[in-house]
Amino acid sequence: MRAARFHETGGPEQLQVESVPNPSPRPDEILVEVRAIGVNPTEVYSREGDRDHPLPRIPGADFAGIVESVGETVTDVEPGDRVFGTGLQNDRQGTYAEYVVARPRRYAVLPDEVSFEQGAAAGVVGTTAWLAFVEHARLTPTSTCFIHGGSGGVGHVAVQTAKLCGATVVTTAGSEASREFARECGADTVLDYARPDLLATAQKIAPDGVDVVLDHRIGSYLQFDLEVLAPDGTVVVIGGPQDESRITDMWPAIRTDATVQVFAMSNEPDLGAVLEEVAVLLADGRLDIHIARRYDLEDAAAAQRAVIEDSFHGKLIILP
Protein backbone atom coordinates (compact mmCIF):
# COMPACT_ATOMS: atom_id res chain seq x y z
CA MET A 1 0.00 0.00 0.00
CA ARG A 2 0.96 3.67 -0.27
CA ALA A 3 1.62 5.44 3.02
CA ALA A 4 3.16 8.75 4.10
CA ARG A 5 5.95 7.98 6.58
CA PHE A 6 8.86 9.67 8.31
CA HIS A 7 12.12 7.86 9.05
CA GLU A 8 13.50 10.69 11.20
CA THR A 9 11.71 13.31 13.26
CA GLY A 10 11.92 16.87 11.96
CA GLY A 11 10.17 19.19 9.51
CA PRO A 12 7.37 18.41 7.04
CA GLU A 13 9.97 17.40 4.42
CA GLN A 14 10.55 14.22 6.48
CA LEU A 15 7.16 12.97 5.32
CA GLN A 16 7.51 10.84 2.15
CA VAL A 17 4.99 8.63 0.37
CA GLU A 18 6.37 5.10 0.15
CA SER A 19 5.23 1.62 -0.75
CA VAL A 20 4.94 -0.40 2.47
CA PRO A 21 3.42 -3.80 3.38
CA ASN A 22 -0.29 -3.77 4.26
CA PRO A 23 -0.78 -3.97 8.04
CA SER A 24 -2.29 -7.15 9.53
CA PRO A 25 -4.98 -6.94 12.21
CA ARG A 26 -4.47 -8.79 15.47
CA PRO A 27 -7.39 -11.02 16.58
CA ASP A 28 -9.31 -8.12 18.16
CA GLU A 29 -8.53 -5.50 15.46
CA ILE A 30 -9.97 -4.48 12.10
CA LEU A 31 -8.26 -3.68 8.79
CA VAL A 32 -9.83 -0.69 7.01
CA GLU A 33 -9.48 0.53 3.43
CA VAL A 34 -9.06 4.24 4.08
CA ARG A 35 -11.20 6.69 2.06
CA ALA A 36 -10.41 9.92 3.94
CA ILE A 37 -7.99 11.09 6.65
CA GLY A 38 -8.40 14.02 9.04
CA VAL A 39 -5.37 16.26 9.55
CA ASN A 40 -4.61 17.42 13.12
CA PRO A 41 -1.83 19.32 14.91
CA THR A 42 -1.19 16.28 17.14
CA GLU A 43 0.48 14.27 14.37
CA VAL A 44 2.64 17.27 13.49
CA TYR A 45 3.94 17.38 17.05
CA SER A 46 4.79 13.67 16.85
CA ARG A 47 6.60 14.14 13.51
CA GLU A 48 8.55 16.91 15.22
CA GLY A 49 9.59 14.40 17.90
CA ASP A 50 7.42 15.07 20.96
CA ARG A 51 6.72 11.33 21.36
CA ASP A 52 8.97 8.32 21.46
CA HIS A 53 7.58 6.37 18.50
CA PRO A 54 9.57 3.59 16.88
CA LEU A 55 10.65 4.73 13.40
CA PRO A 56 9.75 4.71 10.57
CA ARG A 57 6.29 5.89 11.47
CA ILE A 58 3.05 6.58 9.62
CA PRO A 59 1.42 9.58 11.38
CA GLY A 60 -2.28 10.28 11.75
CA ALA A 61 -5.12 9.91 14.26
CA ASP A 62 -8.30 10.07 12.16
CA PHE A 63 -9.71 7.90 9.39
CA ALA A 64 -12.90 6.85 7.63
CA GLY A 65 -13.27 3.94 5.24
CA ILE A 66 -14.57 0.45 4.57
CA VAL A 67 -13.78 -2.61 6.67
CA GLU A 68 -11.56 -4.88 4.58
CA SER A 69 -11.15 -7.72 7.10
CA VAL A 70 -11.59 -8.36 10.82
CA GLY A 71 -9.65 -10.33 13.43
CA GLU A 72 -11.16 -13.59 14.62
CA THR A 73 -12.65 -12.18 17.86
CA VAL A 74 -14.24 -9.06 16.31
CA THR A 75 -18.05 -9.16 16.37
CA ASP A 76 -19.17 -5.51 16.13
CA VAL A 77 -18.38 -4.93 12.42
CA GLU A 78 -17.79 -7.07 9.34
CA PRO A 79 -16.09 -6.65 5.96
CA GLY A 80 -17.88 -4.07 3.81
CA ASP A 81 -19.11 -1.95 6.77
CA ARG A 82 -18.49 1.78 6.68
CA VAL A 83 -16.51 2.92 9.76
CA PHE A 84 -14.71 5.93 11.14
CA GLY A 85 -12.14 6.11 13.87
CA THR A 86 -9.74 8.22 15.87
CA GLY A 87 -7.11 8.15 18.59
CA LEU A 88 -4.51 6.27 16.54
CA GLN A 89 -1.85 8.98 16.98
CA ASN A 90 -0.20 7.00 19.78
CA ASP A 91 -0.80 3.54 18.30
CA ARG A 92 1.53 1.28 16.38
CA GLN A 93 1.01 3.15 13.10
CA GLY A 94 -1.23 6.05 12.11
CA THR A 95 -3.75 6.74 9.39
CA TYR A 96 -1.89 8.51 6.52
CA ALA A 97 -2.14 5.37 4.36
CA GLU A 98 -4.38 3.38 2.03
CA TYR A 99 -5.06 0.83 4.79
CA VAL A 100 -5.07 1.15 8.57
CA VAL A 101 -5.45 -1.24 11.48
CA ALA A 102 -7.71 -0.01 14.29
CA ARG A 103 -7.93 -1.56 17.72
CA PRO A 104 -11.14 -1.99 19.75
CA ARG A 105 -12.89 1.09 21.12
CA ARG A 106 -11.16 3.33 18.58
CA TYR A 107 -13.82 3.17 15.83
CA ALA A 108 -17.58 3.19 15.23
CA VAL A 109 -19.97 2.51 12.38
CA LEU A 110 -20.27 5.49 10.00
CA PRO A 111 -23.95 6.04 9.15
CA ASP A 112 -24.84 5.91 5.42
CA GLU A 113 -25.92 9.56 5.51
CA VAL A 114 -22.44 10.71 6.60
CA SER A 115 -19.68 11.05 4.01
CA PHE A 116 -16.24 9.53 4.51
CA GLU A 117 -14.87 13.09 4.46
CA GLN A 118 -17.11 14.21 7.33
CA GLY A 119 -16.37 11.03 9.28
CA ALA A 120 -12.61 11.35 8.90
CA ALA A 121 -12.65 15.04 9.77
CA ALA A 122 -14.84 14.49 12.85
CA GLY A 123 -12.62 12.10 14.82
CA VAL A 124 -10.26 14.12 17.01
CA VAL A 125 -12.32 17.31 17.01
CA GLY A 126 -15.74 15.72 17.53
CA THR A 127 -14.59 13.55 20.43
CA THR A 128 -12.64 16.42 21.99
CA ALA A 129 -15.63 18.77 21.97
CA TRP A 130 -17.92 16.04 23.34
CA LEU A 131 -15.51 15.06 26.11
CA ALA A 132 -14.85 18.71 27.01
CA PHE A 133 -18.45 19.84 27.29
CA VAL A 134 -20.55 16.74 27.91
CA GLU A 135 -18.19 14.60 30.03
CA HIS A 136 -15.91 17.09 31.79
CA ALA A 137 -17.51 20.55 32.03
CA ARG A 138 -21.13 19.33 31.83
CA LEU A 139 -22.57 22.35 30.04
CA THR A 140 -26.27 23.02 30.60
CA PRO A 141 -28.77 25.40 28.95
CA THR A 142 -28.01 27.99 31.63
CA SER A 143 -24.21 27.81 31.13
CA THR A 144 -22.12 30.50 29.50
CA CYS A 145 -19.00 29.32 27.81
CA PHE A 146 -15.94 31.03 26.29
CA ILE A 147 -14.15 29.21 23.46
CA HIS A 148 -10.79 30.53 22.26
CA GLY A 149 -10.56 30.31 18.45
CA GLY A 150 -14.06 29.32 17.31
CA SER A 151 -13.32 28.89 13.59
CA GLY A 152 -10.60 26.20 13.54
CA GLY A 153 -10.87 22.42 13.72
CA VAL A 154 -11.75 21.98 17.38
CA GLY A 155 -13.19 25.50 17.65
CA HIS A 156 -15.96 25.23 15.06
CA VAL A 157 -17.09 21.85 16.44
CA ALA A 158 -16.83 23.11 20.02
CA VAL A 159 -19.10 26.06 19.20
CA GLN A 160 -21.70 23.73 17.65
CA THR A 161 -21.46 21.21 20.51
CA ALA A 162 -21.79 23.91 23.19
CA LYS A 163 -24.87 25.27 21.42
CA LEU A 164 -26.33 21.73 21.25
CA CYS A 165 -25.91 21.63 25.05
CA GLY A 166 -27.98 24.84 25.12
CA ALA A 167 -25.15 27.05 26.39
CA THR A 168 -24.54 30.70 25.54
CA VAL A 169 -21.31 30.82 23.54
CA VAL A 170 -18.73 33.58 23.37
CA THR A 171 -15.80 32.86 21.07
CA THR A 172 -12.91 34.53 19.22
CA ALA A 173 -11.34 34.51 15.76
CA GLY A 174 -8.57 36.37 13.98
CA SER A 175 -10.30 37.83 10.91
CA GLU A 176 -13.76 39.14 10.02
CA ALA A 177 -14.28 36.16 7.67
CA SER A 178 -13.43 33.76 10.50
CA ARG A 179 -15.69 35.62 12.92
CA GLU A 180 -18.56 35.38 10.40
CA PHE A 181 -17.89 31.63 10.08
CA ALA A 182 -17.99 31.20 13.88
CA ARG A 183 -21.32 33.05 13.94
CA GLU A 184 -22.62 30.67 11.23
CA CYS A 185 -21.60 27.78 13.52
CA GLY A 186 -23.94 29.25 16.12
CA ALA A 187 -21.78 31.42 18.38
CA ASP A 188 -23.75 34.12 20.18
CA THR A 189 -20.85 36.58 20.34
CA VAL A 190 -17.59 36.51 18.37
CA LEU A 191 -14.68 38.77 19.31
CA ASP A 192 -11.38 39.58 17.62
CA TYR A 193 -8.78 37.69 19.67
CA ALA A 194 -6.22 40.44 18.95
CA ARG A 195 -8.24 43.29 20.40
CA PRO A 196 -6.33 44.83 23.31
CA ASP A 197 -9.44 45.03 25.51
CA LEU A 198 -10.43 41.37 25.05
CA LEU A 199 -10.69 40.67 28.78
CA ALA A 200 -12.66 43.82 29.60
CA THR A 201 -15.00 43.14 26.67
CA ALA A 202 -15.56 39.51 27.71
CA GLN A 203 -16.25 40.66 31.29
CA LYS A 204 -18.77 43.19 29.98
CA ILE A 205 -20.54 40.53 27.89
CA ALA A 206 -20.63 38.09 30.83
CA PRO A 207 -20.69 40.34 33.94
CA ASP A 208 -21.17 37.34 36.27
CA GLY A 209 -18.34 35.46 34.56
CA VAL A 210 -18.42 32.45 32.25
CA ASP A 211 -18.98 28.96 33.62
CA VAL A 212 -16.59 27.21 31.27
CA VAL A 213 -13.57 28.25 29.19
CA LEU A 214 -12.18 25.95 26.48
CA ASP A 215 -8.50 26.82 26.01
CA HIS A 216 -6.16 25.28 23.42
CA ARG A 217 -3.47 27.95 24.00
CA ILE A 218 -2.79 28.14 27.74
CA GLY A 219 0.59 29.73 26.98
CA SER A 220 -1.34 32.86 26.05
CA TYR A 221 -4.56 32.63 28.01
CA LEU A 222 -4.36 30.83 31.37
CA GLN A 223 -4.47 34.03 33.42
CA PHE A 224 -7.20 35.45 31.15
CA ASP A 225 -9.24 32.27 31.65
CA LEU A 226 -9.13 32.57 35.44
CA GLU A 227 -10.08 36.23 35.29
CA VAL A 228 -13.11 35.69 33.05
CA LEU A 229 -14.43 32.72 35.07
CA ALA A 230 -17.60 32.71 37.17
CA PRO A 231 -17.63 31.28 40.73
CA ASP A 232 -17.15 27.48 40.61
CA GLY A 233 -16.22 27.77 36.94
CA THR A 234 -14.01 25.38 35.00
CA VAL A 235 -11.14 26.01 32.60
CA VAL A 236 -10.90 23.05 30.23
CA VAL A 237 -7.35 22.89 28.88
CA ILE A 238 -6.61 20.98 25.68
CA GLY A 239 -3.41 22.61 24.45
CA GLY A 240 -0.25 24.51 25.31
CA PRO A 241 2.51 25.34 24.89
CA GLN A 242 2.82 24.58 28.60
CA ASP A 243 6.30 26.09 29.00
CA GLU A 244 4.86 29.56 28.35
CA SER A 245 1.79 29.20 30.58
CA ARG A 246 1.87 31.24 33.77
CA ILE A 247 -0.59 32.14 36.48
CA THR A 248 0.61 35.60 37.41
CA ASP A 249 -2.18 36.26 39.92
CA MET A 250 -3.84 33.42 41.84
CA TRP A 251 -6.49 35.66 43.39
CA PRO A 252 -9.12 35.32 40.60
CA ALA A 253 -8.82 31.53 40.90
CA ILE A 254 -9.05 31.59 44.69
CA ARG A 255 -12.03 33.96 44.63
CA THR A 256 -13.97 31.68 42.26
CA ASP A 257 -12.91 28.21 43.51
CA ALA A 258 -11.74 27.64 39.94
CA THR A 259 -11.22 24.17 38.53
CA VAL A 260 -8.61 23.62 35.84
CA GLN A 261 -9.36 20.42 33.96
CA VAL A 262 -6.64 19.18 31.61
CA PHE A 263 -7.34 16.31 29.27
CA ALA A 264 -6.25 14.55 26.08
CA MET A 265 -8.91 12.82 24.00
CA SER A 266 -6.50 9.96 23.33
CA ASN A 267 -6.62 9.04 27.06
CA GLU A 268 -10.32 8.18 26.76
CA PRO A 269 -10.53 4.38 26.96
CA ASP A 270 -13.78 4.14 24.99
CA LEU A 271 -13.49 6.57 22.10
CA GLY A 272 -15.79 4.23 20.15
CA ALA A 273 -18.68 5.14 22.45
CA VAL A 274 -17.99 8.86 21.97
CA LEU A 275 -17.75 8.37 18.19
CA GLU A 276 -21.18 6.70 18.28
CA GLU A 277 -22.62 9.88 19.87
CA VAL A 278 -20.87 12.08 17.31
CA ALA A 279 -22.22 9.86 14.51
CA VAL A 280 -25.80 10.52 15.67
CA LEU A 281 -25.23 14.29 15.46
CA LEU A 282 -23.55 14.03 12.05
CA ALA A 283 -26.28 11.76 10.66
CA ASP A 284 -29.17 14.05 11.56
CA GLY A 285 -27.31 17.20 10.55
CA ARG A 286 -27.04 18.78 14.00
CA LEU A 287 -23.24 18.72 13.66
CA ASP A 288 -21.55 19.78 10.43
CA ILE A 289 -17.80 19.51 9.92
CA HIS A 290 -16.64 22.14 7.47
CA ILE A 291 -13.99 20.81 5.08
CA ALA A 292 -11.70 23.73 4.24
CA ARG A 293 -9.22 21.91 1.94
CA ARG A 294 -8.55 18.47 0.49
CA TYR A 295 -5.02 17.14 -0.14
CA ASP A 296 -3.67 14.10 -2.01
CA LEU A 297 -1.59 11.69 0.07
CA GLU A 298 1.46 12.89 -1.89
CA ASP A 299 0.80 16.36 -0.45
CA ALA A 300 0.64 15.19 3.20
CA ALA A 301 3.63 17.38 4.05
CA ALA A 302 1.80 20.45 2.68
CA ALA A 303 -1.27 19.52 4.71
CA GLN A 304 0.81 19.25 7.90
CA ARG A 305 2.48 22.58 7.18
CA ALA A 306 -0.91 24.21 6.60
CA VAL A 307 -2.57 22.84 9.77
CA ILE A 308 0.05 24.68 11.83
CA GLU A 309 0.78 27.78 9.76
CA ASP A 310 -2.42 28.68 7.90
CA SER A 311 -5.70 30.17 9.01
CA PHE A 312 -8.65 28.14 7.65
CA HIS A 313 -12.25 27.42 8.55
CA GLY A 314 -12.92 23.93 9.93
CA LYS A 315 -10.79 20.99 8.87
CA LEU A 316 -8.13 19.87 6.41
CA ILE A 317 -8.37 16.33 5.07
CA ILE A 318 -6.24 13.98 2.97
CA LEU A 319 -7.74 11.69 0.33
CA PRO A 320 -5.43 8.67 -0.15
Binding-site ranges for ligand NAP (CB under 6 A): 40-42, 124-125, 128, 148-149, 151-155, 172-175, 178, 193, 216-217, 220, 238-239, 263-265, 307, 311
Q: Which is nearer to ligand NAP, 25 or 227 (CB)?
A: 227
Beta carbon of residue 171, minimum distance to ligand NAP (angstroms, whole number): 9
Q: Which is nearer to ligand NAP, 35 or 216 (CB)?
A: 216
Q: Which is nearer to ligand NAP, 124 or 139 (CB)?
A: 124
* Cα dihedral: 241, 267, 84, 158 (round 10): -50
CA–CA separation, 28 and 14 (whole Å): 32
Burial of 250 from C-beta contacts in 10 A (0-12 / 13-18 / 19+): exposed
Beta carbon of residue 307, minimum distance to ligand NAP (angstroms, whole number): 5
Q: Which is nearer to ligand NAP, 166 or 241 (CB)?
A: 241
Residue 33 phi, psi dihedral angles, 5° rounding: -80, 115
Residue 226 phi, psi dihedral angles, 5° rounding: -65, -35
CA–CA separation, 244 and 222 (whole Å): 10
Beta carbon of residue 247, minimum distance to ligand NAP (angstroms, whole number): 18
**Chain centroid offset of residue 177 CA:** 21
- Is 92:128 a contact under the CB 8 Å cutoff? no
Beta carbon of residue 298, minimum distance to ligand NAP (angstroms, whole number): 22
CA–CA separation, 97 and 310 (whole Å): 24
Beta carbon of residue 68, minimum distance to ligand NAP (angstroms, whole number): 28
Beta carbon of residue 36, minimum distance to ligand NAP (angstroms, whole number): 16
Q: Which is nearer to ligand NAP, 60 or 239 (CB)?
A: 239
Q: Which is nearer to ligand NAP, 58 or 214 (CB)?
A: 214
Find the residue with minimal CB distance to ligand NAP.
Answer: 152
Nearest to 218 by CA among 179, 254, 261, 182: 261
